[in-house]
Structure 1
Amino acid sequence: MTMTAEIPGQVPWWKEPTRDQWMAWIAAWLGWTLDAFDFTIFLLIMVPISETFHVPLIEVTAVFTITLWLRLVGAVGSGWLADRIGRKAPLMISILWYSVANLCAGLSPTFALLFLFRALLGIGMGAEWPAGAALAMESWPARSRGLMSGVLQGSWSIGFLLSSAAYGLLYDKIGWRGLLILGVLPALAVVWIRIYVKEPKVWVENRRIQREQKQEFRAPLFDIFRKRVLGNTVMACLWMASSFVIYYSVYGMFATHLQKDLHLAAGMVAMPIALANLVAFLASGAWGYVADVFGRRWAMIIPAAIGACITPLYLFSDSYPMVAGAFIVQGVFLGAIYGQNPSYLTERFPTEVRATASGFCYHQGAIWAGFTGPLLTYFAVGQPLGFAVPMLIATTGAAIMFVITLLYSPETKGKELVSEITLLQPAE
């Protein structure tokens, strides 16, 4: 049984990684956390954007739908580059891309231009994850990979917390444009990554073997649909699709629900979202420890099942303490089911196609999530309770699919990542 706890003669888990391994993980952490800030700030300002440009709210929700859909474009492109030239360069390109796109969106004089630049931001968002996840997980020791995967993926909540804090503290002073313009700051992280981060050894050796044996994988996206890995690819896609729908049913429209249905001020909207994200970050690390002890799947199945039962508590109450308290508690469960995304996707696919496979399976889920905002808004218009019923149905249905898919998926706890060309070896 692989554990992050110490056993006699074994160094503490946090001393096992080398300086280069820590640097690789920190680079991925920076890219993901800042990516989260740039994306989630938009979820908090859809209503004022609608009012500024005098467009229906459903048209504004379509902005983040297109942003989510274009993530798949960035993910596939970045994954291909990461498998061909290394994990580091695509990570830097992606951070620059989404930072500049957010700046341009903040300066846009028309809704059409804002729509364009936020859509383009989606390409940079999608490009960050496959490169960053592969960089971090390939570099990290197997013993504590689940834990650090949880902390890494959970840091999306840190980015959301930062955007919530910025909204609550700065919106009245700098408005929605100023909040978007703040999104250019992540570009500074590229300098640090360029200087201090190295490519994972397992990828470097794998590329050497490909060149030496003249067996290079020039189209890795097609390789993940080979017969021997097709089932794994399909199940990974279903898992990620359901998890994306859960996230955007729980978090994506919650601020709009509080603004439109409960008519709450900025500070009262920001508080539960910020605290729920802080709790989700801490819980992602805790469930990551569970993943290293009991397995990747159970560290996701258990919180998903519990979280589905918590959902009605914050959607069907007129009491602000109940709404805020239950939503914050949800951070421990449905807010933390994503912690094993980096480790589990990394461990399910071989080195030669890993970034492409991870990027595609992860971000095709964003296509389904892209329908969530407009559909929930469409059905909310005709509901006496507004967003409550549509959000409950979407969350519960997706949670059931999430659990079923993982029950039929492979367990990868403790898997050692190898540099050999696995796809050309006979199936076991």
Structure 2
Amino acid sequence: MAPYFMRNLIPKRTQRAQGRPLLTVLASLTWVQWAQFFSGWLCWTCDAIDFFSVSLSVTHLEAQFSKPTSSITTAITLTLLFRSLGAVIFGILSDRFGRKWPLVGNMILVGCFSLGTSFVNTYSQFLAVRSLFGVAMGGVWGLAAATALENLPVEVRGLASGIVQQGYAVGYLIAAVVNLFLVPETSHGWRAMFWTSSGIIFFSAIVRASLPESAYFIRAKEAEKLHGEHKSTGEKTRVFLRETKEMLKTHWLLCIYAVLLMSGFNFLSHGSQDLYPTYLQTSKNFSAHNATVATIIGNLGAITGGAIAGFLSQYLGRRLTIVCFVLLIGAFIPLWILPSSFSALSAGAFCIQFGVQGAWGVIPIQLAEMSPPAFRATFPGVAYQLGNMVSAASAQIEATGGNNLRTTIIKNGVPTDVPDYATVQGIFIGVVAAFVIIITIVGPENHGSHFEAHKTAFEEGAGHDEARAEGETGESVRSSRPDSLRVEEEKHDSAV
């Protein structure tokens, strides 16, 4: 008989039947739920705008600081390395104090460091600011995903996960458009990228500050008042630390698995994106304009793949959907690296990013559902950023590989020796895709989890997965819906 993890790859029918039709659930959402979802998506989009402003400006930064590609990509590596620290700091603040103000403060810091990048004049200053940016950037994903998903009904979380995660691709797309149309038109060049980025980031902080706290934390505070419990901040913090210790003692193996999973996913993402514009310009002799257009086409594929995969995961299961989309990556690697024409390579970019970001589109909800429920900002955020730390050298690995694996192209009518980034990236992504498939198949899945019914991290017993909030039974999401909809759901469940 096949191992359990293989037999359980497709969720049971009862897990997939999720109550009401998708359109019915979407129609029932309040403006606050829509706004909080948009806020989480926007914050994650802003995160990507700034990060990819560096990737798109590598050639400009080489000229600015008189450094080779491998030195400029050191900034990308440092940003990724320091993100783990930010994930720990802001994740703990969010699980302890709430989603709203930690995320607002986080985005303000991200905006400040983005603005600071535009004013650096030396290579050392550039590395220092990008390292600090990495700390601030590290907190965004976990807080943004929790804000966007935990306020939504279970039935739409798969689709929402795909859309939220593709805020990353939208951010890349926005940065590419700015690089294509604004940068060439201003005398300040690459610095205009970061001015634009910081303005959008500060706007996202204003949006989140204008919205209420997550219903998850509002419920916990109301329950506290109802029972007459008035713990001091110090008492709540002691409870939080005790429950965190209990969670780590229980879930240490899950923590290791999550880091391995996210290491594979981050190698997949950064290996296919960070050096891509440089690859097109150096190995394929594209102009900066055409390389940027190809990047935009690739990100259109990413947005499409993420939304489709998130939707499918609600029915096929999280892990099976990931496996299917990663298999697509392997199938399209030849189209991504072998052609030389703009149209064929752009098609390859679209297809590869359709697979890469399609698989990624399932990750926010997969991590949220597998996480210890009370720690849905800290656990996914830290796992994600530790995976980023492990994969931090992706661009440098590829740049170093290109320095050692060479090819010859005709440039301005003259045979020219250049790095063979096509072969390097093809091998790199192929190996990583195989690893991601294996680690995904052997891992857990908690499809359709009602994690919003759990206690918050500062409540007694929150470190245990079975610890439900007062009066919650796992169908707690219904308690926040109109009576008519709850009656409709109860009738549906009786019929099933």
Partner of 2:447: 413
- Counterpart residue number, 1:23: 35
Residue 48 of structure 2 is matched in structure 1 by 36
Q: Distance in 2 between matches of 1:93 and 1:409?
A: 34
Contact 1:137–1:149 (Cα < 8 Å) also in 2: yes
**Distance in 1 of aligned mates of 2:166 and 2:46:** 12
For residues 274 and 203 of structure 1, the distance between their equivalents in structure 2, rounded to whole angstroms, comes to: 40
CA deviation map 1:87-145 (0-9, x unaligned): 11121112111111111111111111111112211112111111111122211110110
Identify the match of residue 225 of structure 1 among 248, 255, 269: 248
Partner of 2:359: 337
Paired with 2:107 and 2:100, the residues of 1 have a C-alpha distance of 11
Q: Distance in 2 between matches of 1:85 and 1:121?
A: 23
Question: Would you say the 8 A contact 1:133–1:342 is kept in 2?
Answer: yes
- In structure 1, which of residues 387, 392, 396 is the aligned counterpart of residue 421 of structure 2? 387
Is contact 1:96-1:187 (8 Å) kept? yes
CA spacing shift, 1:282–1:13, aligned 2, 3 Å: farther
The one-letter amino acid paired with 1:178 is A
Asked whether the equivalents of residues 220 and 356 of structure 1 are also in contact (C-alpha less than 8 Å), the reply is no
The separation in 2 between residues aligned to 1:115 and 1:396, in whole angstroms, is 31
* Whole-angstrom distance in 2 between the partners of 1:17 and 1:39: 32
CA distance in 1, matches of 2:328, 2:39: 33
CA distance in 2, matches of 1:178, 1:425: 48
Are positions 1:205 and 2:220 aligned together? Answer: yes
Kept after mapping to 1: 8 A contact 2:18/2:448 = no
- Equivalent residues of 1:150, 1:288 under 8 A apart: yes
Of 415, 418, 424, the residue aligned with 2:464 is 424
Q: Any idea what the Cα deviations from partners look like across 1:162-185, whole Å, max 9, x if unmatched?
A: 111111112212311111221211
Aligned residues: 424
Q: Shift of residue 211 of structure 1?
A: 7.5
Partner of residue 235, structure 1: 257
Give yes or no for contact 2:46–2:204 (8 Å, CA) kept in 1.
no
Which stretch has the larger CA shift, 207-216 or 69-78?
207-216
> What is the deviation of 1:207?
9.9
Q: Residues 80 and 221 of structure 1 are in contact (CA less than 8 Å); yes or no, is this contact kept in structure 2?
A: no
Identity %: 22
How big is each residue's C-alpha offset from its partner over 1:296-320, in whole Å with a ceiling of 9 and x where there is no partner?
Answer: 1112110001112211222122222
Q: 1:319 aligns with which of 328, 341, 350?
A: 341
Report if aligned partners of 2:297, 2:346 keep a CA contact under 8 Å in 1: no
Q: Which of 1 and 2 has greater Rg? A: 2
| Distance in 2 of aligned mates of 1:30 and 1:425 | 30
- 3-state SS of the aligned residue for 1:423? coil
Question: Under a length normalisation based on structure 2, what TM-score does the superposition of the two structures give?
Answer: 0.81
- Please give the residue correspondences for 1:60-71 in structure 2 after superposition, counting only pairs within 5 Å: 60-71=72-83
Q: Report the counterpart of residue 396 of structure 1 in structure 2.
A: 430
CA distance in 2, matches of 1:416, 1:5: 13
Residue 301 of structure 1 contacts residue 403 of structure 1 at CA under 8 Å; is this kept in 2? yes
Q: Equivalents in 1 of 2:432, 2:271: separation in Å?
A: 9
Find the counterpart in structure 2 of residue 275 from structure 1: 297
2:194 to 159, 167, 180: 180
CA–CA distance in 2 between the matches of 1:151 and 1:354?
18
The letter for the 1-side match of 2:340 is D
Letter in 1 for 2:429: T
Question: How far is the alpha carbon of 1:18 from its aligned partner?
Answer: 2.5
SS in 2 for 1:331: helix
Deviation at 1:202, TM superposition (A): 5.7
Q: Is the aligned partner of 1:163 residue 2:183?
A: no
Over 3 Å counting, the alpha-carbon distance change for 1:170 and 1:235 in structure 2 is: same
Matched ranges for 1:107-146 at <5 A? 107-146=119-158
Give the structure-1-normalised TM-score. 0.93
Aligned pairs for 1:285-304 within 5 A? 285-304=307-326
Q: CA deviation at 1:203?
A: 7.1
- Using the TM superposition, give the Cα deviation of residue 411 of structure 1 relative to its aligned residue in structure 2, in angstroms: 1.9
Q: Is the 8 A contact 2:162 2:361 kept in 1?
A: yes
In the other structure, the counterpart of 1:251 is 273
Determine whether 1:193 maps to 2:208: yes
- Equivalent AA in structure 2 for residue 260 of structure 1: T
Structure 2 CA distance for aligned equivalents of residues 273 and 97 of structure 1: 28
Go from structure 1 to structure 2 and tell me whether the alpha carbon gap of 1:155 and 1:287 turns closer, same or farther (over 3 Å shift). Answer: same
Per-residue deviation, residues 142-197 of structure 1 (Å, max 9, x unmatched): 01101101000012111111111111112212311111221211212222211223
SS of corresponding position for 1:317: coil
Q: 1:30 to 1:137 in 2, by over 3 A?
A: same
Map of 2:88 onto structure 1 = 76
Distance (Å, rounded) in 2 between the aligned partners of 1:211 and 1:305: 53
Ranges in structure 2 where 5+ consecutive residues have no aligned partner: 1-12, 408-419, 456-460, 468-496
Instruction: Give SS of 2:280's match.
Output: helix
| Structure 2 CA distance for aligned equivalents of residues 425 and 412 of structure 1 | 12
Cα distance 1:217–1:361, how it changes in 2: closer, same or farther (>3 A)? Answer: same
- Give distance in 1, aligned partners of 2:252 and 2:446: 17
3-state DSSP of counterpart to 1:390: helix
Structure 2 distance, partners of 1:206, 1:412, is 27
Q: What amino acid is aligned across from residue 96 of structure 1 in structure 2?
A: I
Pairwise CA distance, 1:329: 1.8
* Displacement of 1:217: 2.0
- Structure 1 11/43 Cα, relative in aligned 2: closer, same or farther at 3 Å? closer
1:269–1:16 CA distance, 2 compared to 1 (3 A): same
